[in-house]
Structure 1
Amino acid sequence: MKIIHQHLKETSCYDGSPIQPLWALDKYGIKGSSIISWMGPMEIKAENIVDVEDVGLEIKSDNMAHFIVEHFDCQPADIRICYHRQRILVMLLKEELRSFGIECKRRGDDLFVNSKKLTVSIATISPTSMKIHLGMNITSEGTPDDVKTIGFFECNESLNEKDIVNLINNVSKNYIDEINDIEQDITKTRSFY
């Protein structure tokens, strides 16, 4: 399966709207399965909140690394497969953070460092695609006061913006490789009925 990764150099605020289907096509002309990544703030508008448990909560940060994943390979879109892929993406981020000397604990689809929340994530479907958003705090500034948070820079003071870009590119490449490896395993496996 071909998955395109495009890292955007421009900064933009994640307001929840990129989780809509065909966002990469509408906004950047990218057709097909993709990962779009960028750095920027997050402030999710109430009308764009997907997780029912998050309604009424502040979901914001001054600066995050964002991943928006969209898959078209499963028709109709399957929410269970989408959540499995979300967990793969989160676990690959956890592995990559370890290479920067950052040890995390995973609880569901969230990563924590010293009991402080490092990430936010959601998975959802539309009639045609599966969508995932994963955001990692670059700094804890601007996050909700009622949540203990931590940022990438606060985990290791020697890290810089180039490290974040490398992390984003590595996680995206590893995710694409993992999905493609699964597809290859499917094509070489004899099944019995």
Structure 2
Amino acid sequence: MQYLKWEDGNEYDGSQINPSWAFQEFGVKDSTIVSWLGPMNILGKNLIDYEDVGLDIKGNMMLNFIVEHFDEQPGSLRLAYHRQRMLVMITRDKLLDYGIKTTQDGDDIFINNKKLSVSIATASISSMKMHFALNITVDGTPEDVETSALEDNGMTIEQIHQLQDSIAETYIETIETIEKDIVKTKVF
């Protein structure tokens, strides 16, 4: 699995959740975690979650992650959601390193009951995908949702970039150690 940092400033519009996006964008023939800082404005045609139809899913500045796994065909939606929860838990652990205490409800992270994250998982014939993002600022977030942000909790851009790398590297390490455990385990 490879970690790629996309140029900061690119907008997440939902099209990046399509299968093989990292291959088409970067030419990478591997499972990937791609991350960048940029705005989010998911267009209606790119909404995946039926509960989100008609809602505004946006923010002026987000820490975005796109994860794609090619280790099972067809992709398992169940496994994609398990991995998404794992990414959420890794993120919560890493935020504690910066003194930021959070709570979790499903795939959502909250600070003082205010929503910090957005996330979706999906599967296709060829892969499993996730988008996960944290608000860097509350600017541009939907007015009907109480939101929190990393900058409101004292994080600088330099610290956010450190957090970005730490989350991605820990996620890859976790996936790799699971694969090693599978190989060394006697089955009956």
Report TM bin, short chain. Answer: over 0.9
2:171 to 161, 168, 175: 175
TM-superposed deviation, 1:39: 0.5
TM-score of the superposed pair, with normalisation by structure 2: 0.98
Letter of the 2:166 counterpart: N
TM-superposed deviation, 1:120: 0.2
1:9-88 matched pairs, under 5 angstroms: 9-88=7-86
1:131 to 129, 132, 135: 129
Q: Output the CA distance in 2 between the equivalents of 1:31 and 1:143.
A: 34
* Corresponding residue number in structure 2 for 1:113: 111
Answer with 9-18 or 166-175: which moved more.
9-18
* Structure 1 gap segments, 5+ residues each: none
Q: Output the CA distance in 1 between the equivalents of 2:8 and 2:178.
A: 33
TM-superposed deviation, 1:76: 1.6
* Corresponding residue number in structure 2 for 1:153: 151
Q: Output the CA distance in 1 between the equivalents of 2:29 and 2:159.
A: 29
How many residues matched?
Answer: 188
* Structure 2 gap segments, 5+ residues each: none
SS of equivalent to 1:5: strand
1:47-101: per-residue Cα shift (whole Å, max 9, x none)?
0000000000000000000000000001121111110000000100000000011
Letter of the 1:164 counterpart: I
Letter of the 1:21 counterpart: P
Q: Output the CA distance in 1 between the equivalents of 2:7 and 2:15.
A: 19
Q: Output the CA distance in 1 between the equivalents of 2:25 and 2:3.
A: 14
TM-score of the superposed pair, with normalisation by structure 1: 0.96
TM-superposed deviation, 1:9: 2.9
TM-superposed deviation, 1:28: 1.3
Shift >2 Å, 4+ stretches: none
Q: Output the CA distance in 1 between the equivalents of 2:104 and 2:177.
A: 23
Report the RMSD for the aligned CA atoms in angstroms: 0.7
SS of equivalent to 1:148: coil
Q: Output the CA distance in 1 between the equivalents of 2:167 and 2:33.
A: 10
